């Protein structure tokens, strides 16, 4: 099914339904939730999803798993084409799919299954080839590796507001003392609470936010040098080294769709 609203098939009596959609650059889907779990695959363009728990960047040829009932907003960067598989809650639990959002790699098999699933009729035969395609799709989602393409958001109101502002304009120049002062906290209290609620130091979180913002900008075709300097890196080589160290590969691998 293509360019179909998800609420049009939430109640279809099938464990898995799929749709493909195209979005204009900078289009935003406001906060919403599905009763089903969603695998959101970015066939082209870069997608950013934000929930109360954090922000996830989905480069081309990667996918985001969103569990049932999780409220999320989605931002499109560039001309975005998606393929989504929606999995009923009972099937999510039976398959042991993740209880939290995560970006995952997409194997050639999962890619092919998603393309095929979109073209199946909504009420496909459960005991035929179509049913087996959908069952295999769920199996393949489960075995895909998680990718470190998210920045968690703290629960504390002041910290969350500061982090959302930094996600909007990330920079390595964001100073921890300034952040603590804006939050009305001592540096010690700020650093302890930040690590408690995000699982990361502020410095590591700031770098992660910058790297994921860079991924989005590079996906638009912006020059590496300009992106690196804008984000506060001393040089393009320093930026590339940080990207490789944190995300395990240079930017070209992510943007090229290599799993």
State residue 148's pLDDT score: 86
Domain boundary among 147, 164, 191: 147
**pLDDT at residue 259 greater than cutoff 60:** no
**Residue 220 is assigned to a structural domain of this protein:** yes
Q: Kindly tell me if the per-residue pLDDT of 8 is higher than 80.
A: no
Residues 141, 161, single domain; the answer is: no
Same-domain pairing of 125 and 14? yes
Range of the domain at 113: 6-147
Q: Is residue 97 part of a domain?
A: yes
Closest CA relative to residue 22, chosen from 7, 8, 38, 43: 43
pLDDT in tens, 23-65: 999 999 999 999 999 999 999 889 999 999 999 999 888 999 9
Count CB atoms within 10 A of the CB of residue 251. Answer: 21
pLDDT at 5: 60
Residue 1 lies in a domain: no
Whichever domain contains 68, its CATH number is 2.60.120.810
Note the pLDDT tens digit of each residue in 128-179: 999 999 999 999 999 999 998 999 999 999 999 999 999 999 999 999 999 9
> In residues, how long is the chain?
259
- Decide if pLDDT at 237 tops 90: yes
pLDDT at 4 over 60: no
Does 186 reside within a domain? yes
Is the pTM higher than 0.85? The answer reads: yes
State which of 147, 165, 196 marks the end of a domain: 147
Number of independent structural domains in the chain: 2
Phi, psi of 192 (to 5 degrees): -65, -45
In this predicted structure, what is the pLDDT of residue 89? Answer: 96
pLDDT of residue 219: 82
Which domain CATH number covers 181? 1.10.10.60
Residues 10 and 138 in one domain: yes
Instruction: Please check whether residues 87 and 164 belong to one and the same domain.
Output: no
Q: Spell out the residues 6+ positions from residue 47 whose beta carbon is closer than 8 angstroms to its own.
A: 40, 57, 58, 64, 74, 75, 76, 77, 80, 82
pLDDT band at 3 (very low <50, low <70, confident <90, very high): low
Last residue of a domain, one of 147, 170, 203: 147
């Amino acid at each position: 099914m293509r360019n179909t609203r998800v609420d049009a098939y939430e109640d279809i009596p099938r464990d898995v339904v799929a749709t493909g959609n195209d979005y204009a650059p900078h289009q935003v889907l406001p906060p919403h939730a599905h009763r089903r779990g969603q695998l959101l695959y970015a066939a082209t363009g870069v997608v950013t999803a934000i929930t109360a728990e954090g922000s996830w960047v989905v480069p081309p040829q990667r996918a985001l798993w969103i569990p049932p009932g999780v409220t999320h907003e989605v931002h499109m960067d560039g001309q975005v084409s998606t393929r989504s598989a929606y999995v009923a809650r009972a099937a999510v639990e039976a398959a042991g799919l993740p209880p939290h959002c995560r970006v995952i790699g997409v194997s050639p098999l999962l890619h092919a299954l998603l393309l095929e699933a979109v073209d199946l009729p909504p009420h496909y035969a459960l005991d035929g080839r179509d049913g087996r395609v959908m069952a295999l799709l769920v199996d393949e989602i489960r075995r895909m590796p998680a990718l470190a393409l998210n920045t968690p958001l703290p629960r504390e109101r002041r910290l969350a507001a500061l982090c959302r502002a930094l996600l909007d304009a990330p920079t390595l120049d964001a100073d921890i003392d300034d952040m603590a002062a804006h939050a009305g906290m001592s540096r010690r209290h700020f650093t302890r609470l930040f690590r408690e609620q995000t699982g990361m130091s502020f410095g590591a979180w700031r770098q992660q936010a910058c790297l994921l913002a860079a991924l989005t900008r590079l996906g638009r075709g912006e020059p590496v040098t300009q992106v690196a300097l804008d984000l506060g890196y001393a040089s393009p080589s320093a930026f590339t080294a940080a990207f490789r160290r944190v995300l395990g590969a240079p930017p070209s691998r992510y943007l090229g769709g290599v799993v």
